[in-house]
Amino acid sequence: MADKLRIGVIGCGTIGTVHAERYSKCAQAELSYVVDLERAKAEKLAASFGAKNVATDYRQILDKVDAVSVCLPNDLHCPVSVEALKAGRHVLCEKPIALNLDQATQMQAEARKAGKLLAIGVVNRFNDYVNLVRSEIASGALGELYHVSFSFKAFRSIPGLGGWFTTRKRSGGGVMIDWGIHYLDLALYCIGSPQPKRISGVAHARLGRNLKEYAYLSMWAGPPNYGGVCDVEEYVSGLLRTSGPTVAFEGAWAQNIDAPATFLDFLGDKGGIRLHYGKGYSLYSHRDGTLYETAPQRTVTDMFQNEIDSFVECALTGAKSRAHVDSVIASQRIIDGFYASAASGREMDL
């Protein structure tokens, strides 16, 4: 077994920077290359985190590294990941897996054929509080788990209006595939990945359709590109039926109510948990006629560092990653079903 994994980070935007920084702190990784179409961005990132080389074409590095992080817009996840896998490289691809289930299964098949690890950037699986919640549920602390609900709503926060975030052919969708995928995967992971059965969903694309009339206070990946388009949804709601609990959700990049919501509720017949996204949780229980609320607190580790360390270790040892594409692909199937339901106005079998 090699002592270190030679890494190439493809894409030097915000998430590429996150990956590069964590690789630079991983004892088993060597940040060999950073890649971006804009050479100046690659050079800046390389200087920040000690990357040995830069490139403007990812194809130039595939024979010089052992693994790559794909930190690119959604429409590039499949072609770049497949090419890297065909070259015999391990791949950590940011979420969502791809634009749709067909592309995701193509990536999964290529990973199996190549015998290489394809991990997906579902970073919440490496969050300490998320794993505590998962353990609470598995231990039976909630009794029979019958329903999960989650909410991911913000006030007028459409990202990168007119850019790739709001262009369906590049993003695959709006808030559901961007934010919703994180919450959905987190929920399924915590409850033991029950089989998805049917889904019913609605999606609204109202507030951003006239780009120049969209009012906002701040914009991730801005400023707006008024020459672009916004043909994706900014609001969603849905109900998923599984072989276990039902799962309900509501989310919005943008709504006309300034009441952000970022939480997941897990309801059992003996207790319940509210998990605050990216933070801690409260456990509600009862004993001898008395109601209890417990809010565990602990020092938490960096979930992005945990994600990177796990990817490197699993690639080196052949261990099964908790973010392996086989464990995540159900979320892509559900996302596809959600969009089909929203378009048709009927519940979809999964």
Q: Which residue has the tokens 């207790």?
A: 271
pLDDT tens, residue by residue, 111-127: 999 999 999 999 999 99
Taking the alpha carbons of 317, 322, 327, 329 in that order, is the dihedral positive or negative? negative
Cis peptide before 96 (omega within 30 of 0): yes
- Neighbouring CB atoms inside 10 A of 330's CB total 19
pLDDT at 1 over 60: no
Q: Which residue has the tokens 């980070």?
A: 9
CA–CA separation, 256 vs 243, rounded Å?
Answer: 35
* Neighbour-count burial of 255, counting CB atoms closer than 10 A to its CB (0-12 exposed, 13-18 middle, 19+ buried): buried
pLDDT tens, residue by residue, 239-259: 999 999 999 999 999 999 999
For the chain, list the domains and their CATH numbers.
5-121+304-322 (3.40.50.720), 125-300 (3.30.360.10)
Backbone angles phi, psi at 235, to 5 degrees: -140, 140
pLDDT tens, residue by residue, 43-87: 999 999 999 999 999 999 999 999 999 999 999 999 999 999 999
User: For residue 307, which of 163, 185, 179, 215 has the smallest C-alpha distance?
Assistant: 185
pLDDT tens, residue by residue, 225-239: 999 999 999 999 999
CA–CA separation, 167 vs 205, rounded Å?
Answer: 12
pLDDT at 199 over 70: yes
pLDDT tens, residue by residue, 31-41: 999 999 999 99
State the average pLDDT for the chain. Answer: 97
Q: Write out the H or E segment, with its range, that includes residue 309.
A: helix 303-317
CA–CA separation, 269 vs 107, rounded Å?
Answer: 40
Backbone angles phi, psi at 35, to 5 degrees: -130, 135
pLDDT at 144 over 90: yes
CA–CA separation, 135 vs 131, rounded Å?
Answer: 6
Tell me the three state secondary structure of residue 52. coil
pLDDT at res. 3: 84
pLDDT at res. 146: 98
Mean pLDDT computed over 327-334: 98
Backbone angles phi, psi at 115, to 5 degrees: 70, 30
- The model's pTM is 0.96
CA–CA separation, 152 vs 180, rounded Å?
Answer: 7
Taking the alpha carbons of 135, 136, 142, 147 in that order, is the dihedral positive or negative? negative
CA–CA separation, 256 vs 242, rounded Å?
Answer: 32
Residue type for position 161: L
Q: Write out the H or E segment, with its range, that includes residue 105.
A: helix 101-114
* Neighbour-count burial of 198, counting CB atoms closer than 10 A to its CB (0-12 exposed, 13-18 middle, 19+ buried): middle
pLDDT at res. 216: 96
Mean pLDDT computed over 165-178: 98
Tell me the three state secondary structure of residue 186. helix
Are the beta carbons of 207 and 254 closer than 8 angstroms?
yes
- Neighbouring CB atoms inside 10 A of 253's CB total 28
* Range list of β-strands (E), 58-133: 67-70, 90-94, 118-121
CA–CA separation, 330 vs 160, rounded Å?
Answer: 28
